[in-house]
Amino acid sequence: MLANYLIGLREGLEAALIVTILVAYVVKIDRRDVLRRIWLGVGLAVVLALVIGAALTFGTYGLSFAARETIGGVLSIAATGLVTWMVFWMLRTARDLSGHLRGSIDRSLLGAGVGLVVVAFVAVGREGIETALFIWAAVQATGETTMPLIGAALGILSAVGLGWLVYSGMLRINLAKFFTWTGGILIVVAAGVLSYGVHDLQEAGVLPGLNSLAFNVSAAIPPDSWFGTLLKGTLNFSPVTTWLELVVWTGYTAICLSLFIRASRNGGRVRSAPRPVEPATEPVAEPVR
């Protein structure tokens, strides 16, 4: 039961962390009205993953190994891009907020309307299908034993619970600190997702170098231990890391962190050119960026 619990926890942690930061941010800038979009993205991802997982488990057709790896790799790279976008979008709205440019925030949020749904959707959906297949496998086993299903469900619930704890902590710290910390955390999380995607593509044989290892610390950090689970679940830390993964991780982190630090010193001015002043209009249904 403990082993299945840890799988559930690991699969849920990363999504819980990203969604938590997103929700905490929106609440902190006092825009609870856009929370609906975040939950829409989360809900869509959960339902879609469970339905696809059930169809593949109980239906006429399953998923081939190559297709599974491709979905994993592509969604990981998409997730990295979206989380990166989210970090710099948060910076931009923070600048608007500090300048009391209320209308500008509204425009940013309006433009991010679809963006927020997509970030929440991909954050949850990335490991969603794999998690759903795991859950349905546990359901299939209930004829013999319900322990795997109970363990997996408790694991996912724990991930959500931890997300809630982090959320309450985040509400207490001030906005400036919140940006520095969440921005940094999100960049490291995104770097982990990217290197995970690289690993998927290396396993699929799309990228070379699966067996040239930069380090192997699985003796010190066993992947089935509780701390190995936490490291894997939050930062996507793999105790066995290839050179290509390490290079991609380091490159991404170095570039994005320095851009992030520079941008936050400039008061969040990510774009050098000021955006053209738009005439003040009523919010339109069609999001425009």
Partner 1 sequence: MRARFPLLGLASAAGLLALTGCVPNAGTSGASHASLTVDSSATACAVSAAEAPAGSVRFTVTNSGDQVTEFYLLAEDGLRIVGEAENIGPGLSRNLVVQLAAGHYFTACKPGMTGDGIGKADFTVTESDAAPNL
Q: Which positions ≥6 away from 279 have C-beta within 8 Å? A: none
Residue 176 in the binding site for partner 1 (CB under 8 A): no
Report, in Å, the least distance between residue 23 CB and partner 1. 19
Residue 209 in the binding site for partner 1 (CB under 8 A): no
Binding string, 235-264, against partner 1, x = CB under 8 A? ----xx------------------------
Residue 130 in the binding site for partner 1 (CB under 8 A): yes
Residue 223 in the binding site for partner 1 (CB under 8 A): yes
Between 161 and 223, name the residue whose CB sits nearer to partner 1.
223
Report, in Å, the least distance between residue 219 CB and partner 1. 8
Residue 118 in the binding site for partner 1 (CB under 8 A): yes
Residue 3 in the binding site for partner 1 (CB under 8 A): yes
Quick one: which of 137, 15, 21, 4 has its CA closest to 76?
15
The two three-digit tokens of residue 149, written as one number: 């299903």
Residue 194 in contact with residue 15, Cβ under 8 Å?
no
Residue 281 in contact with residue 231, Cβ under 8 Å?
no
Residue 138 in the binding site for partner 1 (CB under 8 A): yes
Residue 64 in the binding site for partner 1 (CB under 8 A): yes
Among 25, 134, 178, 260, binds partner 1 (CB under 8 A): 134
Q: Which helix (H) or strand (E) holds 241?
A: strand 240-242
Report d(CA 124, CA 12) in Å as an integer. 8
Between 236 and 264, name the residue whose CB sits nearer to partner 1.
236
- Enumerate the β-bridge partners of residue 241: 215
Separation of first and last alpha carbons in the chain: 48
Residue 287 in the binding site for partner 1 (CB under 8 A): yes
Residue 242 in contact with residue 199, Cβ under 8 Å?
yes
Residue 213 in the binding site for partner 1 (CB under 8 A): no
Among 168, 222, 259, 267, binds partner 1 (CB under 8 A): 222
Report d(CA 50, CA 118) in Å as an integer. 18
Report, in Å, the least distance between residue 181 CB and partner 1. 26
Q: Which positions ≥6 away from 158 have C-beta within 8 Å? A: 5, 8, 9, 12
Report, in Å, the least distance between residue 205 CB and partner 1. 6
Residue 13 in contact with residue 157, Cβ under 8 Å?
no
Residue 27 in contact with residue 172, Cβ under 8 Å?
no
For partner 1, the binding residues (CB under 8 A) are: 1, 3-4, 6-7, 11, 59-68, 70-71, 74, 78, 81-82, 111-115, 118, 122, 130, 133-134, 137-138, 140-141, 144-145, 147-148, 151-152, 203-205, 210-211, 218-219, 222-224, 239-240, 286-289
